[in-house]
């Protein structure tokens, strides 16, 4: 390919503003960069709210390795459509819309054909993935606007609390998808480990699906909140007597913990043939006592966000059940403080950035 074709293939760009980390140890700070002008199949959103996920922090600080700097995190996005390409059919200027952790995939592999784009080998993340249009890396939702292929843009059925809808795009779908995949239903006993962004949505969703919900927490002060959010029982996981009362009794446990912890303590609570699924992604690998699996034929599994069709299904389910995230709205200038508070488990239960604050 000649250099002239390369230039011709590069779409027009406009400048925008975001917040970026430039190294694992530097606080996030204002950062100017370019977005492409919408291509025929693209939707351009002015970002209204962006949730703050623990994955943003893991990535900003290179805790999983593989971060390319500068990185603009953010993948829980609600916005207003400000432009659409000629071929866009499902959105028009002025609509409210949302997008989550993915901006592209190959659309042809077996995963994509099943609507499981998150498992596509050519999945492109909303941030820290190669940007095939402009080169460099994709930049996420801690920014004024974003341009995305229409396929990855979702409709917002409940528009009453947009800040509370934003976290559904990661925390919501990451808990909804495994609860559905492992067929959580009425009458089952379901454990949710950790009451943070993901965990509090897990409690709400499992309750709405009819399960008997038990929340495991390291923070005794969260007990009343957990009950208000939909937990039928709350166990302080550092209390061995409380843990022992639940031995071999769970159909399903969803572990949302962001830091190193003992998964064996929870595996022992799963009943024969039950499943424990990890969605939390601490940088250190877990240590699993194999007899906890063998003796009761238990399964230990993992799950990644959710596909686009299921994400729309989750948004519709949440609208039907009047579920949104409990958010503390912050201006973007408080993002570094929010990260420190998230590390101390001091958030009720998701920060959402009001993007109006970014000027």
Q: Which residue ranges make up the site for Zn ion (CB under 5 A)?
A: 53, 55, 170
Beta-sheet pairing, 189-193 with 96-99: unpaired
Closest to Zn ion by CB, 201 vs 234, is 201
Burial category of 348 from C-beta neighbours within 10 Å (exposed 0-12, middle 13-18, buried 19 and up): middle
Out of ligand NAP, Zn ion, none, what residue 78 binds, judged by CB under 5 to 8 A for its kind, is none
Closest distance of CB 329 from ligand NAP, Å: 16
99/114 Cα distance (integer angstroms): 19
Q: Which stretch binds ligand NAP (CB under 6 A): 88-96, 121-129, 134-142, 190-198?
A: 190-198
User: Which residues 231-290 are close enough to bind ligand NAP by CB under 6 A?
Assistant: 256-259, 261, 279-282
Question: Which span sits near ligand NAP by CB under 6 A: 7-15, 109-117, 298-306, 309-317?
Answer: 298-306
DSSP, residue by residue, 67-117: PPSSB-----EEEEEEEE-TT--S--TT-EEEE-SEEE--S-SHHHHTT-G
Contact 201, 298 (CB under 8 A): no
Q: Could you tell me the smallest distance in angstroms from the CB atom of residue 256 to ligand NAP? A: 5
- CA R_g for the chain: 20
Partner interacting with residue 165 (select from ligand NAP, Zn ion, none; CB below 5-8 Å by kind): none
Q: Does 214 bind ligand NAP (CB under 6 A)?
A: no
Q: Read off the tokens for 134.
A: 């402009």
Cα separation of 21 and 359, whole Å? 18
User: Which span (2-10, 30-38, 49-57, 127-135) binds ligand NAP, by CB under 6 A?
Assistant: 49-57
- The yes or no reply on residue 219 touching ligand NAP (CB under 6 A) is yes
- Which one, of 267, 247, 121, 130, lies nearest residue 193 by Cα? 267
Least distance (Å) between residue 174 CB and ligand NAP: 4
Sign of CA dihedral 11, 13, 17, 22: positive
With tokens 């912050």, the residue in question is: 330
Residue 105 near ligand NAP by CB under 6 A: no
Q: Does 197 bind ligand NAP (CB under 6 A)?
A: yes
In the bound complex, what is the minimum distance in angstroms from residue 218's beta carbon to ligand NAP?
3
Where does this chain bind ligand NAP (CB under 6 A)?
Answer: 53-55, 58, 170-171, 174, 194-199, 217-219, 222, 256-259, 261, 279-282, 303-305, 342, 345, 347
């Amino acid at each position: 390919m000649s250099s002239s074709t390369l230039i011709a293939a590069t779409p027009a760009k406009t400048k925008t503003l975001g917040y970026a980390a430039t190294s694992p140890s530097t606080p996030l700070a204002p950062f100017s960069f370019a977005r492409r002008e919408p291509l025929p199949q693209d939707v351009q959103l002015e970002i209204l709210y962006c949730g703050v996920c623990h994955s943003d922090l893991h990535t900003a600080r290179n805790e999983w390795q593989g971060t390319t700097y500068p990185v603009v995190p953010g993948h829980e996005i609600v916005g207003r459509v400000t432009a659409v390409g000629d071929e866009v059919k499902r959105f028009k200027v002025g609509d409210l819309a949302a997008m989550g952790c993915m901006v592209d995939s190959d659309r042809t592999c077996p995963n994509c054909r099943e609507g499981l784009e998150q498992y596509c080998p050519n999945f492109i993340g909303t941030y820290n993935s190669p940007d095939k249009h402009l080169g460099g890396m994709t930049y996420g939702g801690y920014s004024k606007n974003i341009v995305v292929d229409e396929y990855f843009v979702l409709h917002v059925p409940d528009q009453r609390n947009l800040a509370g809808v934003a976290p559904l795009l990661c925390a919501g779908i990451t808990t909804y998808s495994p609860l559905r995949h492992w067929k959580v239903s009425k009458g089952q006993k379901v454990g949710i480990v950790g009451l943070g962004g993901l965990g509090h949505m897990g409690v709400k969703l499992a309750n709405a699906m009819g399960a008997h919900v038990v929340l495991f927490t390291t923070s005794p002060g969260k007990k009343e909140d957990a009950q208000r959010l939909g937990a039928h029982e709350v166990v302080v996981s550092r209390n061995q007597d409380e843990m022992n009362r639940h031995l071999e009794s769970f159909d399903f446990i969803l572990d949302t913990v962001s830091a190193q912890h003992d998964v064996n303590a929870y595996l022992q609570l799963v009943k024969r043939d039950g499943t424990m699924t990890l969605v939390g992604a601490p940088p250190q690998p877990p240590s699993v006592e194999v007899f906890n699996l063998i003796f009761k034929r238990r399964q230990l599994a993992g799950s990644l966000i959710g596909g686009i069709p299921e994400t729309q299904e989750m948004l519709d389910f949440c609208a039907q059940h009047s579920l949104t995230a409990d958010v503390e709205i912050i201006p973007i200038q408080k993002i570094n403080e929010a990260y420190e508070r998230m590390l101390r488990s001091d958030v009720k239960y998701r920060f959402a950035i009001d993007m109006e604050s970014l000027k």
